[in-house]
């Protein structure tokens, strides 16, 4: 089971010392966790994820090139065609895009498409995205595209019809460990690839609580080996 820590801003270097599998950097300007400036040197074992919300393709490619992103997480209403263009931007006309392509290794760029869930979900919408995404991410539907701080009903995922690996997100904290252990030991988690945490491990937006993250990572490792 992989661990993604999202909403990097004030102390990404300290978070990196915990060696999560993924670290998420938000490039949606209205977010209180919006990332800009210099990114610290991270261990190669950690994949850098750029989080976007209906951003123009050129903006995404620019950030991928600027920060050496390993994955993009699409939190808006991005279409199947958009995801396809992101995976194969060489097919998109435009000299500006072509120039950025020279600096981006798109064959290694992972695409994570987010879908928000409240009480139920129409899984049929996933079908067309199967071939254009590497992973799905299921988050809680709320006022914001992400980081709302509460969980959805994970039992909905008992009806997951796909074999596409997915990230589980939305309000996961230390108080979720018992519920998370139950979920991961059940059939609904068969294709759960990673756990994604954010707001429940913050002192303030973008400033992560390192001791709490360390405790969560230790507990997650322990009950996965039970």
Cα–Cα distances in angstroms (integers) from residue 28 to residues 14, 77, 170, 179, 226, in the given order: 23, 14, 18, 30, 39
Cβ distance 13 to 37 under 8 Å? no
* DSSP letter (8 states) at residue 117: E
* DSSP letter (8 states) at residue 31: S
Residue showing tokens 């139950």: 182
Q: What is the pLDDT of residue 183?
A: 93
Split into its structural domains, the chain has a count of 1
For 64, the token pair is 């991928």
Structural domain range at position 90:
2-224
145/30: higher pLDDT: 30
Tens of pLDDT, residue by residue over 127-142, are 999 999 999 999 987 5
Which residues, including other chains, have CB under 8 Å from residue 102's CB and lie 6 or more apart?
none
> Using CA atoms, how far apart are residues 133 and 164, in angstroms rounded to an integer?
9
CATH number at residue 98: 3.20.20.70
Beta partners for residue 111, in sequence order: 72
> Using CA atoms, how far apart are residues 64 and 210, in angstroms rounded to an integer?
27
Instruction: Indicate if the alpha-carbon torsion angle 5, 151, 172, 189 is positive or negative.
Output: negative
Q: What is the pLDDT of residue 51?
A: 97
> Using CA atoms, how far apart are residues 22 and 3, in angstroms rounded to an integer?
6
- Confidence grade of residue 25 (pLDDT, cut at 50, 70, 90): very high
Residue 61 has pLDDT above 80, yes or no: yes
pTM of the model: 0.91
Q: Measure the CA angle with vertex 181, ends 180 and 182; round to 5°.
A: 90
Crossing angle between the packed helical segments 80-87 and 57-67, to the nearest 10 degrees: 40
Q: What is the pLDDT of residue 98?
A: 47
Percent above pLDDT 70 for the chain: 87
Q: What is the pLDDT of residue 95?
A: 45
- Confidence grade of residue 166 (pLDDT, cut at 50, 70, 90): very high
Tens of pLDDT, residue by residue over 143-161, are 555 455 568 999 999 999 9
> Using CA atoms, how far apart are residues 162 and 144, in angstroms rounded to an integer?
26
How far does Cα 89 stand from its chain's mean position? 21
Q: How many CB atoms lie within 10 A of CB 186?
A: 14
For 81, the token pair is 């065609």
Helix (H, G, I), strand (E, B), or coil: what is residue 145?
Answer: coil
Tens of pLDDT, residue by residue over 199-226, are 999 999 999 999 999 999 999 988 777 6
Give the mean pLDDT of 105-131. 88
> Using CA atoms, how far apart are residues 220 and 139, in angstroms rounded to an integer?
19
Average pLDDT, the chain: 89
């Amino acid at each position: 089971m992989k661990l993604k820590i999202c909403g990097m801003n004030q102390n990404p270097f300290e978070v990196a010392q915990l060696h999560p599998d993924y670290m998420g950097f938000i490039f949606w300007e209205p977010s209180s966790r919006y990332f800009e400036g210099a990114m610290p040197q991270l261990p190669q074992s950690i994949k850098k994820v750029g989080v976007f919300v209906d951003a123009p393709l050129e903006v995404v490619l620019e950030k991928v090139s600027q920060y050496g992103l390993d994955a993009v997480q699409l939190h808006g209403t991005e279409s199947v065609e958009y995801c396809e263009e992101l995976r194969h931007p060489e097919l998109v006309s435009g000299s500006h895009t072509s120039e950025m392509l020279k600096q981006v290794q798109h064959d290694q760029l992972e695409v994570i498409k987010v879908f928000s869930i409240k009480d139920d979900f129409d899984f049929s919408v996933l079908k067309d995205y199967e071939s254009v995404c590497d992973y799905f991410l299921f988050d809680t539907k709320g006022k914001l595209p992400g980081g709302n701080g509460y969980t959805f009903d994970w039992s909905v995922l008992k009806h997951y019809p796909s074999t596409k690996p997915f990230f589980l997100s939305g309000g996961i904290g230390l108080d979720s460990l018992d519920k998370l252990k139950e979920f991961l030991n059940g059939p609904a988690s068969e294709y759960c690839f990673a756990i994604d945490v954010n707001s429940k491990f913050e002192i303030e937006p973008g400033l992560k609580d390192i001791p709490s993250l360390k405790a969560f990572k230790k507990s997650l490792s322990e009950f996965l080996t039970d």
